[in-house]
Every structure is written in C-alpha cells, then in structure tokens.
C-alpha cells in the first residue's frame, strides 16, 4: 500500500510539472497572438494591386494607401475618425478586429491573476476571452470583403471588383494572417479549457482515505454498538462466581451433615463455613 501511494505521488508530481510547462507555452502563444493581432489591425495589407490593376495601391481595415509616381506611399484613413474609413463594411471589420486585439490584451493582463486566484479559474476566464476574440476575428474576415464594391477599390482593382469579388487585385498577407489567427484563437481557447479541467486533483482515492481516517479518528471504536455487543456477549459467557460458590457450600454442607449423623459425632454436625 505504501509503495502504491509513493508511485501515485511521483506520477502526481510529474503531471503537475507537465501541466505547468503546457500552461507556460499557452501563455507565450497568447502573447504572440496579441502581437500578431495588433499587426494585422494596423497594416494596410489586406487587399493590394497586381500587374493587371489600373493603379497601384493597398487597402487595410481603415487605411487606403496609393503609390504615387515618385514611388512615395500616401495613406488616408484614421481608426479614431470613422468618417475617413471607406464604407460600413470596412468600419465594422475594423471595429471587430480591434475588439479581438483588446480581448487578447485583457487575457494577457489576466495572466497576473495566477498569483491571486486558482489556476482553473484564470484559465477559464482567458479561454472565454480568446473564444470571443476568435469569433470577432472570424466575423471581421467575413464582413470585410463585402466592402470591395467601393469606388476607390474599383479605381485600383477595376470595375470587376465587387462584393466578395477581387477583380484585378489580390489578397495580401495581413488578410491571410487574420484568417490564421481565427484558428489560433480557437485552439488557444480549447487548450485553456482543457488545462482548466485538468487542474482537478488526480489523487481522489488517497484524499478519500485521508478524509476517512481523519473522520474515524474522532470516534472511539470501543464505544461503538458493535464493540458494545461483543463486550456483552463476552460478559454473558463468563461464569457467575458468587452463585457457584453458594452451590458448592450447600452441597458440601449436606454431605457433611449426613456423615455426621451416621457417626453420631456432634463435631461433624456443625456447619463448615467456607
């Protein structure tokens, strides 16, 4: 039994170490996701020109950049001023990606709660934040192409450009990065929930035994009903010494008196006291 408990304890120590290592990796990927999310948010490389395009330019969530004749890059658009963003689709996508980045920043701040709260609670909170961030990023990637029918987009991509129609343009790396981040967010959220579920104690049998032993320590086994019954049975099986001595006296007295009457001696007629 002692050897089994020792093996269980060793397994528990190894499990805790592995769990902590995976949690550290999860935290590192969470920080990386937040950085990449911010990069995808500020970069105007969601949609760009090709060799067939009418003009050279790039489109981001809220910025429109055109390449001038001298090779200079001119960008217009400000996230803090929604009137400078091309259309409602780009505004909605900008807002959703910004919310996604903000949720992951909050998740990073929540990592400090490991010093104050249980690990399972912190992981669940971060998991929900990451799940919501992934949903926001996914909706943004679906909504953004619906704004490609804008006049400024068609000025670069041609009249063939429209809702969910690229025309003579192509998807750039920031848009592809955002699509990858959707799956990354869901994977991190699932991993957070998995780690939170595994934070439960893996030694239920040993804990139950300890609780049982501690509970039994407050009860004296000699005063239980079972032990009292055993004591009653033992006491009933013991001989009654006083009654047995009385019977022995009576028998011995009768025999002595009979012998004394036959011999006629009065000395034998007296009772012999034991």
Query: For the chain, what is the HEC assignment?
Result: CHHHHHHHHHHHHHHHHHHHHHHHHHHHHHHHHHHHHHHHHHCCCCEEECCCCCCCEEECCCCEEEECCCCCEEEECECCEHHHCCCHHHHHHHHHHHHHHHHHHHHHHHHHHHHCCCHHHHHHHHHHHHHHHHHHHHHHHHHHHHHCCCHHHHHHHCCCCECCECCCEEECHHHHHHHHHHHHHHHHHHHHHHHHHCCCCCCHHHHHHHHHHHHHCCCCHHHCHHHHHHHHHHHHHCCCHHHHHHHHHHHHHHHHHHHHHHHCCHHHCCCCCC
When pLDDT is cut at 50, 70 and 90, the band that residue 32 belongs to is very high
User: How many residues are there in the chain?
Assistant: 274
Range in 49-63, 138-152, 165-179 the model is least confident about: 49-63
Span 192-216, pLDDT tens digits: 998 888 765 444 544 555 555 555 5
Nearest to 107 by CA among 126, 122, 85: 126
Nearest to 146 by CA among 170, 165, 160: 165
The DSSP bridge partners found for residue 134 are none
Model confidence at 63: pLDDT above 50: yes
Model confidence at 156: pLDDT above 50: yes
- As a whole-number percent, the residues of the chain with pLDDT over 90 amount to 35
Model confidence at 11: pLDDT above 50: yes
CA dihedral 44, 47, 51, 53 (to 10 degrees): -110
Neighbours of 83 (CB within 10 A): 7
Could you tell me the pTM of the whole model?
A: 0.68
User: How many whole angstroms separate alpha carbon 192 and alpha carbon 85?
Assistant: 36
Span 242-256, pLDDT tens digits: 555 555 455 455 555
């Amino acid at each position: 039994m002692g050897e089994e408990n020792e093996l269980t304890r060793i397994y528990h120590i190894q499990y805790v170490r592995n769990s902590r290592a995976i949690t550290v990796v999860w935290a590192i990927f969470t920080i990386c996701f937040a950085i990449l999310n911010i990069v995808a948010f500020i970069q105007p490389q969601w949609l760009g020109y090709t060799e067939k395009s009418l003009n050279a330019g790039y489109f981001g969530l809220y910025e429109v950049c055109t390449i001038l004749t001298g090779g200079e890059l001119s960008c217009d658009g400000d996230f803090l001023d929604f009137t400078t963003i091309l259309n409602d689709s780009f505004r909605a996508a900008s807002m959703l990606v910004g919310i996604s980045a903000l949720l992951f920043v909050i998740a990073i701040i929540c990592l400090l709660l490991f010093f104050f709260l249980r690990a399972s609670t912190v992981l669940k909170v971060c998991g929900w934040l990451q799940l919501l961030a992934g949903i926001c990023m996914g909706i943004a990637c679906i909504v953004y192409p619906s704004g490609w029918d804008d006049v400024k987009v068609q000025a670069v991509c041609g009249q063939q450009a429209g809702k969910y129609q690229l025309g003579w343009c192509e998807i750039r790396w920031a848009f592809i990065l955002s699509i990858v981040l959707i799956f990354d967010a869901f994977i991190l959220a699932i991993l957070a929930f998995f780690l939170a579920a595994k934070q439960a104690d893996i030694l239920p049998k040993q804990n139950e035994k300890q609780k049982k032993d501690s509970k039994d320590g407050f009860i004296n086994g000699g005063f239980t009903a079972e032990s009292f019954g055993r004591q009653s049975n033992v006491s009933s099986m013991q001989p009654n010494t006083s009654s047995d001595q009385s019977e022995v006296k009576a028998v011995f007295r009768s025999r002595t008196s009979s012998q004394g009457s036959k011999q006629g001696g009065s000395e034998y007629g007296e009772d012999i006291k034991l």
